[in-house]
C-alpha cells in the first residue's frame, strides 16, 4: 500500500501562501481542521489529502498544484528527499522504472505536461526549496554572480565540491559548454549526474574526496567555481605533503581552504579563472601568510570580495569570494571590494562593476603594500584613506550643494493637515475589497529556470527605496508586468512598506505582493498610505523564522470613503512619500560627506 503524503505546518503555510501563524490560528479556530497523523507535538504532520480538502472547502486554496502533490507523495513513498528526486529522475531518464508503481501515472502526466526535462525541473525546485537544502547549497543569485565572475561562457567548468550541482547549473545558465563535478556525497553526485543526463548536457560527475582522490588529475578547464567545505580538520594533510598541486607552498594542517585554492588553480588553464566562496578567516590567518604572499607575487589573486552577511550559509557570517587567475604576467595590484555593509542586491552590482572594470570602481591595492608580515587580505582593512585629490574635492562640493538643495525643499514637502479631531471613518479590509472585485491581488512570484533581461523589482528594493534593476536571478514565474498605479508590499521586512509604482517596464520580483486597484474607485496613494499606518502594521504582521515580520496586506484596513475624498488623502500620502525620500537621500549624503571629509583630511588633500 502506497504511504500517504504528509505535510508540516510550514508546508501548509507555503501551499496556502500565508504565514505559519495563520496555520496555527486555523488549528485553534476551526474544529474541522485535520488532526495530526504523525510527527511530534512541537512539529506535527498532517495528511496532505485531508489538508487540501479542508483548504478548498474553506475557500483558502483553489487547489494544490499537481506538482506539489506528486512531490509530497514521492517524499512519503521514498522517505528521503534525495532518494525521492533520484527515483523520479531515473524514471524520467530511462535508467530504471519508478519503484513506487502507484505514482507512475502522476509522473507520466507531469512529463506529458512539461516534458521530461521540465518535469524533472519542477521536482528539483521543490527539492531545492526544502529547508535542509537551502541551508547547505549556494543561493542562485550568488551562484550566478560566481559563474559570471568566472567568465564561463562557452568554456569548460569544474566544481570540485559540487554537491547536487547548484553552481554547475549556474555555469550552464551562464553559457558553459561542458561541466565537471566531484563530491564525496554519493547521494548528491547521483542527483547532479541525473541533472546532466536528463538535460542532455556535456559533462561528467564523479564521487570521491577531491583533495585525497582527485578524479580529474590531468584535467585543465576554463573555470573552476566552488562553495568549499569550511574548517576541515582531517583533509589529508599528512598523506598529501608532497602533492604536485602545492606549487604555492604546502598548506599547514590548519589551512584546508588554501589547499582547495591550490587544487582549483591546478585545474585552471592559462588565462582561466577560479571563483571560490571562502570563510573570511582564510584572508588573515597567520598560518597561511606565506602561501598568500606567494599567490600575490605570482599574480594568482585577481580580487578578494567581502560579501554581506546573509549572502550564503552560514548566514550570520560575511563570507569572502576569492577570484583567482592563472596568468603568465603577474599584475602589480589586486582588487579588494568591501561590500560587507551593503544589501545583497547592491553588493552584487558593486562587485561586478569593480571586478570587470579592473578595479576602477573598486579599491585597487598594490601587491607591495600587502606583502607585510601578516599578508592580511581582508578587504575592510584596506579601505582607501581618501577619495583621491581633485575627485575628493569635487565629491565634497557636489555633495554639499545637493544636500543644501534637499534641505531647502523639505519645508515645502511637509503636507498641511487640519488638527481638529474628526469622526472615525468606517473601514473595510483589503480582503473585502478583493472579494468585491475592486482590488486584484497578485504574487508572490516564484523563481523561474532562466535569467530575464528586464528590470525586476524585489521586496528588498521596496524596503530600501531602490528602483528596479536588471539582475542575474532566474526570471520570476509567472512574469507580471508592473503598471503605474500598482501598489507593492514586501512579504518579509522589518516594518510594513508599501510603494506606488510610477513607471512601467519592470517585472514583479520575488518577495512582493501586488495590489492592483480600479483607479475609478480606489486611489493608489490612498491605499499605500493607509497600508503603512501603525495600526495596519500590527494588523497585517506575523512573526517569521528569519527575524523579520511577515506581512499579509489582505488583513489591513482602509477607510471606506468616496474616491474623491480618497484622492485628497492620497495627495497627503504622496507628499509624505516625497518627504521621506528626500530625508532618506539627505541622510545618505550626510554619511558620504562625513566619509569624504575624513578621507580627504587623512590623505592631506584637504586642510581644516
Ordered by start, the domain boundaries in the chain are 6-133, 138-382, 427-560
Task: Please compute the mean of the pLDDT values over residues 19-26 and round it to a whole number.
Answer: 82
Does the domain made of 138-382 have the CATH classification 3.40.50.150?
A: yes
Angle between helices 104-128 and 186-198 (to 10 degrees): 120
Task: Please compute the mean of the pLDDT values over residues 95-101 and round it to a whole number.
Answer: 91
Q: Which residues contact 189 (CB under 8 A, 6 or more apart)?
A: 162, 181, 182, 183, 205, 206, 207
pLDDT band at 386; cut points 50, 70, 90: very low
Task: Please compute the mean of the pLDDT values over residues 34-54 and round it to a whole number.
Answer: 85
Cα three-residue angle 406-411-416, rounded to 5 degrees: 140
In CATH, what number does 427-560 get? 3.90.220.20
Task: Please compute the mean of the pLDDT values over residues 205-222 and round it to a whole number.
Answer: 96
Rg (alpha carbons) of the chain, rounded to whole number? 27
Please, is 228 exposed, middle or buried when counting C-beta atoms within 10 Å of its C-beta (0-12, 13-18, 19+)?
buried
Task: Please compute the mean of the pLDDT values over residues 5-27 and round it to a whole number.
Answer: 81
Higher-pLDDT residue of 331 and 438 is 438
pLDDT on residue 131: 62
Higher-pLDDT residue of 410 and 130 is 410
Higher-pLDDT residue of 489 and 455 is 489
The pTM of this model reads 0.61
pLDDT on residue 63: 59
Task: Please compute the mean of the pLDDT values over residues 529-552 and round it to a whole number.
Answer: 82
Contact criterion met (CB below 8 Å) for 164 and 188: yes
pLDDT band at 605; cut points 50, 70, 90: low
Task: Please compute the mean of the pLDDT values over residues 466-482 and round it to a whole number.
Answer: 75
Is the model's pLDDT at 580 over the cut of 80?
yes
pLDDT band at 560; cut points 50, 70, 90: very high
Is the model's pLDDT at 387 over the cut of 50?
no
Contact criterion met (CB below 8 Å) for 430 and 530: no
245-254, 427-436, 470-479, 576-585: least confidently modelled range: 470-479
pLDDT band at 129; cut points 50, 70, 90: confident
pLDDT band at 455; cut points 50, 70, 90: confident
- For residues 38, 40, 43, 45, the Cα torsion angle rounded to the nearest 10 degrees is 0
pLDDT in tens, 168-186: 999 999 999 999 999 999 9
Residues 173 and 168: their CA atoms lie apart, in Å, by: 9
pLDDT on residue 451: 56
pLDDT on residue 232: 80
Task: Please compute the mean of the pLDDT values over residues 571-597 and round it to a whole number.
Answer: 82
pLDDT band at 362; cut points 50, 70, 90: low
pLDDT on residue 530: 94
Cell 489591513, residue located: 556
* Residue (of 566, 549, 547) closest to 558 by Cα position: 566
pLDDT on residue 211: 96
- For residues 74, 80, 86, 87, the Cα torsion angle rounded to the nearest 10 degrees is -50
Cα three-residue angle 548-549-552, rounded to 5 degrees: 145
Is the model's pLDDT at 302 over the cut of 90?
yes
By percentage, how much of the chain surpasses pLDDT 70? 90
pLDDT in tens, 142-155: 999 999 999 998 99
pLDDT on residue 390: 41
pLDDT on residue 531: 94
| The C-alpha cell that represents 463 in the structure block | 524596503
* Residue (of 519, 449, 518, 440) closest to 480 by Cα position: 440
DSSP secondary structure letter of residue 372: S
Task: Please compute the mean of the pLDDT values over residues 236-264 and round it to a whole number.
Answer: 93
Please, is 443 exposed, middle or buried when counting C-beta atoms within 10 Å of its C-beta (0-12, 13-18, 19+)?
buried
Q: Which helix (H) or strand (E) holds 429?
A: strand 427-429
Amino acid at each position: 500500500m502506497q504511504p500517504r503524503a504528509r505535510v508540516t505546518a510550514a508546508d501548509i503555510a507555503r501551499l496556502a501562501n500565508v504565514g505559519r501563524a495563520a496555520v496555527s490560528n486555523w488549528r485553534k479556530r476551526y474544529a474541522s481542521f485535520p488532526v495530526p497523523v504523525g510527527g511530534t507535538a512541537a512539529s506535527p504532520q498532517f495528511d496532505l489529502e485531508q489538508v487540501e480538502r479542508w483548504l478548498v472547502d474553506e475557500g483558502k486554496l483553489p487547489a494544490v498544484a499537481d506538482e506539489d502533490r506528486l512531490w509530497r507523495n514521492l517524499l512519503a513513498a521514498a522517505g528521503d528527499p534525495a532518494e525521492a528526486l533520484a527515483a523520479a529522475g531515473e524514471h524520467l531518464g530511462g535508467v530504471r522504472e519508478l519503484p513506487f508503481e502507484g505514482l507512475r501515472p502522476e509522473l507520466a502526466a507531469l512529463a506529458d505536461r512539461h516534458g521530461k526535462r521540465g518535469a524533472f525541473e519542477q521536482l528539483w525546485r521543490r527539492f531545492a526549496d526544502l529547508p535542509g537544502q537551502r541551508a547547505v547549497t549556494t543561493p542562485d543569485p550568488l551562484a550566478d554572480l560566481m559563474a559570471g565572475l568566472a567568465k564561463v561562457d562557452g568554456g569548460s567548468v569544474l566544481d570540485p565540491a559540487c554537491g547536487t550541482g547548484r553552481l554547475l547549473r549556474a555555469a550552464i545558465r551562464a553559457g558553459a559548454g561542458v561541466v565537471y563535478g566531484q563530491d564525496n556525497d554519493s547521494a548528491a553526485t547521483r542527483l547532479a549526474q541525473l541533472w546532466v543526463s536528463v538535460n542532455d548536457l556535456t559533462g561528467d560527475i564523479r564521487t570521491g574526496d577531491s583533495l585525497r582522490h582527485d578524479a580529474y588529475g590531468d584535467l585543465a578547464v576554463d573555470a573552476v567555481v566552488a562553495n568549499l567545505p569550511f574548517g576541515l580538520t582531517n583533509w589529508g594533510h599528512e598523506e598529501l605533503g608532497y602533492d604536485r598541486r602545492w606549487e604555492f607552498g604546502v598548506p599547514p594542517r590548519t589551512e584546508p581552504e588554501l589547499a582547495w585554492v591550490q587544487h582549483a588553480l591546478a585545474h585552471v588553464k592559462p588565462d582561466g579563472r577560479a571563483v571560490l566562496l571562502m570563510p573570511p578567516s582564510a584572508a588573515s590567518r597567520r598560518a597561511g601568510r606565506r602561501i598568500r604572499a606567494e599567490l600575490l607575487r605570482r599574480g594568482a589573486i585577481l580580487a578578494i570580495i567581502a560579501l554581506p552577511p546573509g549572502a550564503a550559509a552560514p548566514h550570520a557570517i560575511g563570507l569572502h569570494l576569492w577570484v583567482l587567475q592563472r596568468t603568465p604576467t603577474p599584475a602589480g595590484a589586486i582588487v579588494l571590494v568591501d561590500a560587507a555593509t551593503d544589501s545583497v542586491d547592491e553588493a552584487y552590482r558593486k562587485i561586478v562593476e569593480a571586478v570587470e572594470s579592473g578595479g576602477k570602481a573598486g579599491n585597487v591595492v598594490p601587491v607591495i603594500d600587502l606583502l607585510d608580515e601578516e599578508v592580511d587580505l581582508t578587504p575592510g582593512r584596506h579601505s582607501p584613506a581618501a577619495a583621491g585629490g581633485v575627485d575628493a574635492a569635487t565629491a565634497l562640493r557636489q555633495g554639499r550643494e545637493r544636500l543644501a538643495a534637499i534641505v531647502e525643499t523639505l519645508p515645502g514637502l511637509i503636507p498641511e493637515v487640519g488638527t481638529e479631531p474628526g469622526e472615525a471613518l468606517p473601514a473595510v479590509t483589503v480582503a473585502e475589497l478583493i472579494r468585491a472585485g475592486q482590488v486584484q491581488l497578485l504574487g508572490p512570484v516564484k523563481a523561474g529556470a532562466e535569467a530575464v533581461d528586464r528590470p525586476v523589482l524585489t521586496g528588498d528594493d521596496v524596503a530600501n527605496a531602490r528602483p528596479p534593476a536588471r539582475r542575474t536571478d532566474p526570471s520570476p514565474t509567472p512574469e507580471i508586468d508592473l503598471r503605474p498605479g500598482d501598489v507593492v508590499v514586501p512579504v518579509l521586512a522589518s516594518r510594513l512598506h508599501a510603494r506606488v509604482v510610477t513607471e512601467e517596464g519592470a517585472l514583479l520580483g520575488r518577495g512582493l505582493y501586488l495590489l492592483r486597484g480600479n483607479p475609478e474607485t480606489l486611489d493608489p496613494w490612498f491605499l499605500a498610505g493607509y497600508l503603512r499606518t501603525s495600526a495596519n502594521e500590527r494588523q497585517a504582521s506575523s512573526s517569521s523564522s528569519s527575524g523579520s515580520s511577515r506581512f499579509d496586506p489582505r488583513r489591513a484596513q482602509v477607510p471606506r470613503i468616496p474616491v474623491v475624498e480618497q484622492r485628497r488623502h492620497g495627495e497627503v500620502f504622496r507628499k509624505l512619500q516625497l518627504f521621506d525620500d528626500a530625508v532618506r537621500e539627505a541622510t545618505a549624503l550626510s554619511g558620504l560627506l562625513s566619509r569624504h571629509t575624513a578621507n580627504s583630511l587623512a590623505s592631506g588633500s584637504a586642510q581644516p
